[in-house]
Amino acid sequence: MACWRHIVMLLFWFICLFSHANSLPYVVHYLSGPASIERDVPTASAKQTLDIYCYTGTSKSLFTLWQTVKFHIKLKNDEFRYYMGKDAEEVYQAYTEDSYGWSVVNPFQKKAQKTMTLGLYDQTCIALNTKERHTIDLLVQRVDLWRVLLMCLGIGLIFASKSLSGNPVFFYFCGIFVGVFASFMILVYYVSKLLPKKTLTYGILIGGWTVGVYIFQQIWENIRSLMVSYQTYMFWYTLIVSFVSFVVCYRIGPPRNQRSKNLVMWTLQMVGVLMILFSSEYQEAAAAIIITTLVAKYFPESLQYKILGYWRRKFPPKQRFLTNEEYYEEGARETKKALENLRKYCSSPDCAQWSIMLKLHDSKRFASFVEGNSHLSDDEVMDYEAYAFSMERNQKPQPIANSTRVLEISDDDDSDDDD
């Protein structure tokens, strides 16, 4: 009887647990890779449940160094709200609090398609509150080219910081950029002075942060519309401010003091470090790349030469000897190059032609060589060709010719004896 009682208790516990799981007001969809989930419009008779989509995260590895994960929402209209959190309970709590409280439409969610970048290694959940048909896409970009470009630019900026600190072109370019950006910020500052501070402050206090964000969003939209509508004026404004910035930079001049150059170099290196750090969510790997780059940048040259010399002694490169054709081609090429350099030197003002001609036996030949003629005479060319022909003939093995010559000599000796 006791055994049957335990079995009944276990069955009752499983039934209660199953019924509690089915009574949850939300459904969790766990996603770990690229996926697309489409949801239709819920009917009136259907049970109202909240769909929560959770990205489970991934493990840290070098294959995820430049990886990017995003949630993409597709809707036909702008009537939607979304809630994000670390787990499903947090998302559902935010959903219930928003359902029972006073809320307005988030001004940042005006577009029908919204893309949110997720933490690559952390779990992130999202829920969508809408009565329209929608689609949730989990986009996994294995190699984000923007991240790769940002890391490469950061590494290049660290290595080129010393040369860029004294480069005038880079100085003028940065001066023009800072001038245009600073003038625009000053213009925005003076425009903000015209706004009623008390009214804006009271509106933010009464309506909450959403009203303040909505007002700033409207201001930004107006600035964007002005920039699009008055592109000609913006072009001339940028051109004039760029010219004024160039004149100011030209008047000041690039930094000549070594300490000023060091400050610019260290600033560029700091920017490069930040670019590498923000180019990947794998912070440990990014920090290792930063340390390796800085060590390679400031590695002592003397120690580098010692290591390179030891490597060459330990593993000497394999030498390849030139063939006869390569040897003659290189000799002819280098000889021609040396003669051209000698002819240019003799024609230059640095050469004392008259003193050289007094020391030569044949001054006409020297003048002919300077004018572009050959440095060899016809007799010398013929002697060289005859010598080369004789050398080539002696190098060739001629066993048949030698035997014939022996026979000819023996025939001559016989004929002499007969005589």
**Contact by Cβ (8 Å): 248, 182:** no
Could you report the per-residue pLDDT of 385-418, keeping only the tens digit for each?
787 777 767 765 555 444 444 444 444 444 444 4
pLDDT value of position 408? 42
- % of the chain residues with pLDDT over 90: 13
Tell me what pLDDT residue 418 has: 44
Max avg pLDDT among 102-116, 237-251, 353-367, 398-412: 237-251
Residue-wise pLDDT tens digits, 47-99: 567 788 899 888 888 888 999 999 888 877 767 788 888 888 888 888 887 76
Q: Using CA atoms, how far apart are residues 128 and 27, in angstroms rounded to an integer?
A: 12
**CATH number, domain 22-143:** 2.60.120
Residue written as tokens 């790349």? 289
Q: Could you tell me the pTM of the whole model? A: 0.59
DSSP structural state of residue 373: -
Q: What is the mean pLDDT of residues 260-287?
A: 92
Signed CA dihedral, 95, 98, 103, 107: sign only: negative
pLDDT digits (tens, 9 = 90+) for 36-50: 888 776 655 445 677
pLDDT at 348: 85
Mean pLDDT taken over the chain: 76
Q: Alpha-carbon distance 151 to 293, whole Å?
A: 11
Confidence of residue 111 (pLDDT cuts 50, 70, 90): very low
* Residue 157 near residue 174 (C-beta atoms within 8 A): no
The full set of domain ranges for the chain reads: 22-143, 148-297, 324-398
Order of strands across the sheet with 68-74?
35-39, 134-141, 68-74, 113-117
Which residue in the block uniquely carries the two structure tokens 């006073």? 102
H-assigned helices in 166-208 = 168-193, 197-207
Each residue's pLDDT tens digit, 228-251: 777 787 788 888 888 888 888 888
